[in-house]
Amino acid sequence: MLRLTRFLSHPLFAVCAGGVAALGQAPFGLWPLSLLAFAVAVWIWKDSPTPRGAAVRGWAFGFGYFVVALSWLVNPFMVEPLKTAWMIPFALLFMCGGLALLWALASFAAKRFGLGAIGLVALWALAEFGRGYLFTGFPWALPAYIWLDTPPAHLVAWVGPYGLTTLTLLVSALLARAAVLRTLVARLSAVAVLAVLFGTGAWIAARPMAADSAAMVRVVQPNAPQALKWDPRYIPIFFDRALEMSDPEGADLVIWPETAIAPILDGAQAELRAINDRVAPAQTVAGVRRVEGYRAYNSAVVINPQGEVGQVYDKHHLVPFGEYIPFPRLLSALGFSTFTSEEGYGFSAGEGPALMDFGALGTALPLICYEAIFPRDLRGTARPDWLLHMTNDAWFGTFSGPQQSLAQSRFRAIEMGLPMVRAANTGISAVIDAHGEMRGSIPLGQAGAFTAALPVASPPTVYARTNELPFLLLIVMLFLLAATNCWRRKNRETD
């Protein structure tokens, strides 16, 4: 019994519990395990006698969570394993350990200032909010995403992903409280809040949707493995494959994924003519790199029915150490050129969000790869009619990375009440309606294409109109409740 007690208080147990918490993320979707594991994290925190001990256990839990949830991070380093595989342990340690520091800070502060489990939830949620902004942000695998394909997922239409993360952690805290107190009231409180999440989410999901528009889109998935994508011997093969699948079949717009056209835009005249010959009179939007002066851009371009380049969008939210690297020549010598354009010199950021006008299909907000994980990147323009996500998830491997990327795209659609068309190089390409449901898709790791009706947008959601205000109100309420509980505890101790 003593050995078991020691193990439960050991940071290694917290690491294991964090790993279990990550099993709620795609592709596992084991949300009950996640809730229980987050409850264990709260229990571990309460059992910590000192702020320092709470921080250590909070970090250990976060480290276990991120190692499992972000296990796909090893895949980019395996594209050229002889050059970069040696960096895998360091990448996981620094990335997962660094993100876990935010959870450690929340655990330390809640214990140091005696804020109780409610205060811990508020600080933990703020840590996740900060994760979406610090150092350009990385809000991947938010606790809110464990609710994919369940009614609570639809709450993001009201409170956004950070608000749903807060509610998720609150339910777990109530479960921990019920386990410790073992009273009927504590148990009923946890069950009641969970029931409210499911009931409210189901009510939001039941809102009627307009019939699909008459506009049709065709999504092309060439399935070019990352290790071969830029090989001169294979570039024509992948291009011809995409071209063969681009017969519009009644579609008004054909969509190719990120960097689907290999040559730089100014040198891609032959490819543009071939696309136009195949697709006209429909339009095409495709991913391509372009150069302007001494700057390179990761772009999406519209090819009009005349075979000319019309609208151009340049990706503005770039991937650190993926699309740009400080001191590129130095780090290129260490092997980082694998992850960047043109031997480590990287891309420049575009001016910001911009709409593309597709005529009868309405306006679309283009999102290139990484941009779709940021709720804030869906702002800054007039409200579009739909979202256009062009990505190359081949970097993420063939298991959890592409599945989680798709899950986040589906949450963006629910949050904004907007349909999304998603073209991914190796998958998963999909047409997603404003409820986050997939109307058509191409499986991961397969070449293919499909034509589907473009779903219609729903009215602007509460979250679309208020941004993070509901989340911030939740945090204020939790801090007020935590402060009240703290004041009561001190009064009882004084008495």
**Per-residue confidence at 343, pLDDT binned at 50, 70, 90?**
very low
CA 379 from centre of chain? 16
Higher-pLDDT residue of 89 and 47 is 47
pLDDT at 79: 73
- Cα–Cα distance between 418 and 422 in angstroms, integer? 13
Q: What is the mean pLDDT of residues 429-443?
A: 95
Range in 85-99, 154-168, 348-362, 403-417 with the lowest mean pLDDT: 85-99
Range in 36-50, 211-225, 428-442 with the lowest mean pLDDT: 211-225
Cβ atoms 256, 224 nearer than 8 A:
no
pLDDT at 454: 94
pLDDT at 345: 55
**Per-residue confidence at 124, pLDDT binned at 50, 70, 90?**
very high
pLDDT at 346: 74
Say yes or no to pLDDT of 159 above 80: yes
User: Annotated catalytic sites, by residue?
Assistant: 258, 315, 369
Tell me the pLDDT tens digit for each residue of 365-402.
999 998 999 999 999 899 999 999 999 988 888 889 99
**Per-residue confidence at 188, pLDDT binned at 50, 70, 90?**
confident
Q: What is the mean pLDDT of residues 250-277?
A: 92
In which region does residue 116 sit, left (phi positive, over 0), alpha (psi from -120 to 50) or beta (all else)? left
pLDDT at 325: 66
**Per-residue confidence at 9, pLDDT binned at 50, 70, 90?**
low
**Per-residue confidence at 6, pLDDT binned at 50, 70, 90?**
low
Range in 91-95, 405-409, 450-454, 458-462 with the lowest mean pLDDT: 91-95
- Averaged pLDDT score across all residues of the chain: 89
pTM for the whole structure: 0.91
pLDDT at 494: 61
Cβ atoms 100, 113 nearer than 8 A:
no
Q: What is the mean pLDDT of residues 408-415?
A: 97
- Cα–Cα distance between 391 and 395 in angstroms, integer? 10
List Cα–Cα distances, 472 to 19, 53, 75, 274, in angstroms: 28, 28, 36, 51
Please name the amino acid found at residue 6.
R
pLDDT at 1: 44
* 3-class secondary-structure state, position 296: strand
Q: What is the mean pLDDT of residues 120-139?
A: 94
363 Cβ contact list (under 8 Å, min separation 6) = 355, 356, 357, 382, 384, 385, 386
Say yes or no to pLDDT of 243 above 50: yes
- Cα–Cα distance between 246 and 283 in angstroms, integer? 11
Q: What is the mean pLDDT of residues 402-416?
A: 96
pLDDT at 326: 56
206 Cβ contact list (under 8 Å, min separation 6) = none
pLDDT at 58: 96
**298: β partners:** 289
**Per-residue confidence at 40, pLDDT binned at 50, 70, 90?**
very high
Tell me the pLDDT tens digit for each residue of 223-235.
999 888 888 999 9
pLDDT at 336: 53
Nearest Cα to 449, choosing from 233, 277, 229, 250?
A: 250
